[in-house]
Structure 1
Amino acid sequence: MDTALTIKIDAMQKGTEHDAFVSLECAVCQGLAPFLRMSLAGEDLIAKAGELMERVRVCPEDAGSWRDASIALSCLGQAELAQQFLEQALSLCTHYKIQGSASQPILRVLMLMQPGELSANTPLECLLEQAPVEIVQALVTSGQLSSLQVPEHDVLFMAVAESPASQNLLHELELQLASWPRPVINTPQAVLGMARDRVAQLLQGIEGLVVPVTTSYSRATLQPSVLAYPIIIRPLGSQAGHDLACLQHPDELIAYLHKVQADTFYVAPFVDYADRQGLYAKMRIALIDGEPWPCHRALSAHWMVHYVNAGMYEDAAKRAQELIWMQTFSAFLERHVVTLNEVAERLQLPYVLLDLAELQDGRLLLFEADPAMVVHAMDSVELFPYKQVYMGQLREAVVASLVRHAGDVHGVS
């Protein structure tokens, strides 16, 4: 370990416990990471969920197994049943230590989370697998923060994701954490700015960056005949391309509104980002304390690019292009460092992810900025051997950032 880092950790550990924190018995759970790993590997999640459901039948006081069963069911798309299991878990315990956290951690990380679907929180534990940190997750709800009790920690990671459902909680957390005695990574105020329309407004006017203006419409105010086509449309709160569409004509919007029964929608102009071969490349970049790190690059013949369905697992040529992009990331940064620095300055998030494309004219096209997107090193080592290297570098950068922020409050420079 880096000598300076070791000195900083030693100094932090000499700090005293704070009166605001209490000694809490945390349930132990596996968390999302092992279930996501099973899903990506095509392993039998149904059988695993069945094992966990049998475990809680035999031991109904096992809060960790209730929560793990909820996560497994969520991965299987059983949202309603997953919610029932989560509610039972929270009736037993609201604090969970992630199994596999380092036995002798250099850092204690408290993640504040909200109950909900997998996309409701930043899945930090998926990136920090095998990192030398202890992770405790506290699940909190709106209206109950006045009695918030948490264990001692070195740094608080605000994992609640921005969504229509989280607005009240984020505003309450903004007040609760304003004078928090430990460093807070990703303040609620900054996370509130991650709504698609707010991000589009915040990042306008940055040289070298195209950010399509995103507008929120209620169903009643969305008039198909007055929009400039083609457009991108999705319901508020939609993730992973759910009900996302590119529409070319007012008649298509009328048909879309008949099909998608949402009350409010985000609408933005469609920007064609195909390369000269007619392919679409979407890259994910992490900004850690403003420093860019490569996460992945997916290539597809379709404009809606998601890594899991872009053919990256089936096509060695696509993986080879991703590897070249990662190997030459420094050259990418030379072209875009000024732009990305300004993005980081405006977002004010120590941990945030960007989904981008590089247009033929050399500018970057922003699809999304959000700390709650997933990054991990769980892909097949046989298919993606290079991922271990670059995700390992990102993991080390995140741990160093957490240590750096924790050291600030302990007076360590």
Structure 2
Amino acid sequence: MDHTLVALLVMFGALIGLLGAGIWVAVALVGIGSTALALFTPVPVSSLVASTLWEASWQWPLTALPLFIWMGEILFRTRLSRDMFNGLAPWVSWLPGRLLHVNVLGCGIMAAVAGSSAVTATTIGRMSLPELQARGYDERLMIGTLAGSGTLGLIIPPSVVLIVYGILAQQSIARLFVAGILPGLLLMGLFMGYVAIWSLLNRHRMPAREPSLSLVEKLRRSARLIPMIVLIIAVIGSIYSGIATPTESATFGILGALLIAMATGTLSWQSFRDSLMSATRISCMIAFIIVTASVLSSAVAFIGIPQYLAGIVDQMQLSPGWLLLILTLIFIVLGCFLEGVSILVLSSAMILPMLSSAGIDLLWFGIYAVIIIEMAQITPPVGFNLFVLQSITGRSIWQVTCSTIPFFLLLCLAAFIITLIPGLVTWLPSLGRAGS
């Protein structure tokens, strides 16, 4: 048996075994990488691992990660979730589906604040479900819109997953943020379109329309949301226009978030400390995974696994379309057991060289991969959004899963659309002056 194939099988088996035993992902990555270097290469393991960890730990793009996470933690502790329903409801009450659209729009706004799928689904779910249930909306559609729209936290900037992908694939984080805007809006449009069509086909299951409000009253109810939306637009706009790098933009975002928290009366020493500690814990966890993944990447490169896999792809004469289909299936299977950051970290060392050799744009693939990972968030047995909604609603995991099926299919449709029309991903980055 080929030496490289043996190494690949041993590393894969060890990875499955360690993760299955509950070992931390970062510990598993550095352990497998170091052991593979010792067993299958002649390189000095200790010095190589030390230098690799050091090089990976001071990458400049990593500085944007804790800053954006902290901005989201500050805003998460404001009155945003409490004001979301009253602020959005008057503007969507005329649409078919009415207040169900609050779930989609609310998740879109929260996604731009939190950058996390689970946080988005949790926050909007706790805010909207009691209101919608009291008005008699269809429960399956309530759960489905929350599960599907909660995944927007992965693609709408500033997305933590996009930051991680940018570091791993050596792509501009600013361009990835901009590239995620149109696909994010596409997903919101697909979700809202499905809700509208469903409500038109099931008029008898929709509650009575609520009285309309004047423009002045609508603006009054939305007043608390306006500073938040302005801050989000300013942060993304400064990156897109080239005025600021992602790190600089995140810094100003933190200052803006602190001002909003102060203006809404939610900034206290306790909330400040809680937001800082939570951001520190999350950032350290993700950074630890990224840094230790560099050891595995080095092992994979020294053993020659990327070239081995690329050779297999060449021998099979797979078209880019077939390669994407295979990678999509692999990502969906991995998503049944892992969350988004871990999926990217575990797969990047092997798939990125294959994608480059196949001529697939790595910027475009970053957005495509995130959409596939979004699907994984709502697939059993370890779809994180499913567990979130199960805990909120008290329904069984089977009931929650059945409610999300239409939105899983809509995510599949979105992936198909950006494959047919890659310009939806690449057009905005090509226009802007955003840097790295």
* TM tier, smaller: under 0.3
- Structure whose residues are more often helix by fraction: 2
Q: TM-score, normalised by structure 2?
A: 0.25
Q: TM-score, normalised by structure 1?
A: 0.26
Highest relative contact order (Cα 8 Å, sep 6+), 1 or 2? 2
- Structure whose residues are more often strand by fraction: 1
